[in-house]
Amino acid sequence: MSKPTHDIHPVCKMRSGIVCLSLLLGFALIGCRLFYLQVLQSDAGAHEVQRQHQKSQMVQSDRGVIVDRHGHPLALNVDVPSVFVNPKSLEDPEKTARDLAPVVDMGVAQLRKLFKNSQSRVRLTRDISGERAKQVEAMAISGVEVIRSPQRFYPKKELGSHILGFAGDDNQGLEGVEFHYESFLRGEKSLVRYQRDALGGVISSLNDPDSTSHLTGYHVTLTIDEVIQFIAEEELAKAVKQSDAKSGTILIMDPMTGGILAWALYPTFDPNDFRRLAAKDWRNWAVTDPYEPGSTLKIVVAAAALEEGLMEPDTLIYGGDGQMPVAGTIVHDHAKSSWITFTEAVAHSSNVGVIKVALKLGEPRMFEYLKAFGFGQKTGIDLSGESAGILREPHDWSGRSLSSLAMGQEIAVTPVQMVTAMSVVANGGWLMTPHVVSSVVDGRGNSVHLNKAKPKRRPISTQTADRLTHILETVVESGTGQRAKLIGYRAAGKTGTSQKIDPNTGAYSSSSVIASFVGFVPVEQPRLTMLVVIDDPEEETLRWGGASAAPVFGNVANRVLPHLGILPGGAQLIRTASSSPNLSSKQVRVP
């Protein structure tokens, strides 16, 4: 008996076909979608993946470092931790305030108030110590984080502070070289790319190392010598304290280049703590505040008389027994004298003698030489806030002005003007442009700015400079500057003692003075010009430039010259004070 045959119902066949067709259509759609994503949209997909795992943002480059002429760092950056909070992310603000208060050295009530801030990030404290920052991080409080950011740091503290200046909380230069060279030190904003993990954390940088070499401000090299700066500051501090003076200044210049080797002011300050100070505490008065120079200005009168052929070193001048009538008043010398030579008049700082020379010179030529030596105008030094000093036009002079100017009165000069003027004699007759920065280099070491020796003009000839040098050497050997004498070195210079104006009477004070000495050494081949100013010494025996300022010149020079490789007698070991060629006064030429 045969088995019965069961035929598949037509409806079932149709359903099976529909299912198979649907499956085929689904696979076809999936294939098309895959083809679209994998082939047609491959670039867009890769870009989306890259967007999720890579991030780019503009960042401000680190501030460039400042170093002395030998590469010793004077200003650099350190990462300083600060504590921030996101008030909206705090789970228990009250407990957080109690826990954080002793660590961040703030009151609980103060923290509660900050936690009510609507901003997404609030700074609780800056410059927290590394140990306390670790304590905050160990608490692992949601909404509280420690962020480390670069801040300016001055490793030598007070050393060279008035030249360096300082940068503020946002790393922006506010004073000194930090301010004047801000455009170089700050650097530029740059695009930085980095890879992120699934939680958004940074894994690594995707920038080419060569492309990120510029991610720092340019580095600045000063003309300042760290060792010379230290010597100058140490000797100045001792002199100011010994004389019980108000303040003091020492500027040391390479007369051949105009480069400043040391810039010492006392009292000084620590630029790391500038926020606690008033402006008067960090003002760079050697470039901003003019003063009456007194007898140091007689170098200009002497130079002009020699250059114009009005005087020879042995020309005789009648000293008038130490007094001379001028415009209804009597000018006195410290010592009576009858006939003296021009050299003796300068060496012993005779007011009568130099006034008679100035009268022969006349007002027009006197004014001309004062301007030629750089007075009444800015030197062009690469520091901000420079004063031009005070030099009135001859039509504003009185009948006494020519005589007063010969003694360094009725004129105000800045210390940087004075040391630059003396360098004219030291280098053979050229007025140089002083500068405190020698070069600026980028992150790759390429020079982007270079300060070379820049002669402005030639006020006097080499012959005049040589003859005046011999006269100024007698100031140190047998004149008012004998206490500036060095052991084994020949020096030349000029003392000055000027009365300060009494603000109450408007007349010259009988007790308040500025004592100074300006000179250069060695005479055979000058390597440094130095100005020492002691402001308002109270000690009676030290109220003269020859008594308080001249010894400082000698002390500093005796310590600095061996550092420069100059042996007693003029022998030279090596030249370390300047990267420029060793030019004699006869080798300096206007480019």
Measured CA to CA, the distance from residue 509 to residue 500 in angstroms comes to 6
Residue 90: predicted pLDDT: 82
Measured CA to CA, the distance from residue 160 to residue 420 in angstroms comes to 19
Give the neighbor-by-neighbor strand order of the sheet with 189-196. Answer: 54-60, 189-196, 202-205
Is 296 in contact with 516 (CB distance < 8 Å)? yes
pLDDT in tens, 538-584: 988 898 999 999 999 999 999 999 999 998 875 555 433 333 334 34
pLDDT in tens, 438-452: 999 988 888 889 998
Rg (CA), the chain: 37
Measured CA to CA, the distance from residue 167 to residue 65 in angstroms comes to 12
| Residue-range domain boundaries for the chain | 226-563
Q: What mean pLDDT comes out for the span 346-373?
A: 97
Residue 307: predicted pLDDT: 97
Angle between helices 462-477 and 298-307 (to 10 degrees): 140
Q: Can you name the residues that pair with 316 across neighbouring β-strands? A: 341
Report the topology of domain 226-563. Beta-lactamase (3.40.710)
Measured CA to CA, the distance from residue 350 to residue 285 in angstroms comes to 30
- The amino acid sitting at 482 is Q
pLDDT in tens, 123-149: 877 777 778 888 888 888 888 888 887
| Strand pairing category for 66-67 and 219-222 | parallel
Helical H segments across 389-461, by residue range: 401-406, 415-426
Q: What mean pLDDT comes out for the span 175-201?
A: 74
* Residue pointed to by tokens 């900050």: 114
Tell me which of 7-11, 261-265, 544-548 is least confident.
Answer: 7-11
Catalytic site residues? 295
pLDDT(205) > 80: no
Measured CA to CA, the distance from residue 251 to residue 31 in angstroms comes to 83
Is 382 in contact with 335 (CB distance < 8 Å)? no
pLDDT in tens, 64-108: 999 999 999 999 998 888 888 888 778 787 888 888 888 888 888
What integer best gives the mean pLDDT of the chain?
A: 86
pLDDT in tens, 478-515: 999 999 999 999 999 999 999 998 888 888 887 899 99
pLDDT(383) > 90: yes
pLDDT in tens, 315-337: 999 998 889 999 889 999 888 88
Residue 588: predicted pLDDT: 34
